Amino acid sequence: MSTPANPEAWAQLEILVSAMRPGEVITVEEAVVQTGIAMESAALVLDALVGAALFERHGHHFVRLSLFDHAELQRVFGSYLPPRQGKDEQEQSAPPRRRQRARPRRPECP
C-alpha cells in the first residue's frame, strides 16, 4: 500500500531538480532526504527526467544535463554563435559536481 501524496514534498522535489545546474549530481536517496518524498516517487521522477533527456543516469547517480548542446547550436546558428573558449577540455575531463542542498528561490522584486 502506498502512502498518501504530500504536496509539500512534491513542491520541494520540483524546486530541487529545477535548481540543479548542468553537471550537478543527485541520487534518489539524497532527493528523499532533502524533500521528504517517497523513495519510489523520487526514483520515478528522476527516471522520467532521464527519459526527457534532462538527466543522465550513471548507476545510482543522476547527472543534470544541459538543455542545449553547444555543437548543435553551432551547427544551427553557424557564425551567429561564437565558438566556445578554452574550458571545453577541462569541462569534459572534470568529474560531475555533487549537488549541494537546494535553496528556495526568492521571488524577483519589480
Predicted confidence at residue 83, as pLDDT, reads: 57
pLDDT digits (tens, 9 = 90+) for 76-107: 666 555 555 554 444 554 556 666 655 555 66
Query: Region 62-70: what's the mean pLDDT?
Result: 79
For residue 67, what are the CA distances in angstroms to 33, 37, 53, 55, 58? 26, 25, 8, 10, 18
pLDDT, tens digit (0-9, with 9 covering 90-100), for 17-56: 989 998 999 999 999 999 999 999 999 999 999 998 889 9
Q: What is the model's pLDDT at position 80?
A: 58
Sequence ranges of the domains in the chain: 7-98
Name the CATH code of domain 7-98 (choices 1.10.3720.10, 1.10.10.10, 3.40.50.10300, 2.130.10.10).
1.10.10.10
In one letter, which amino acid is 5?
A: A
Residue pair 63/55 in contact by the 8 Å Cβ criterion: yes
Task: Give me the pLDDT at residue 2, please.
Answer: 45
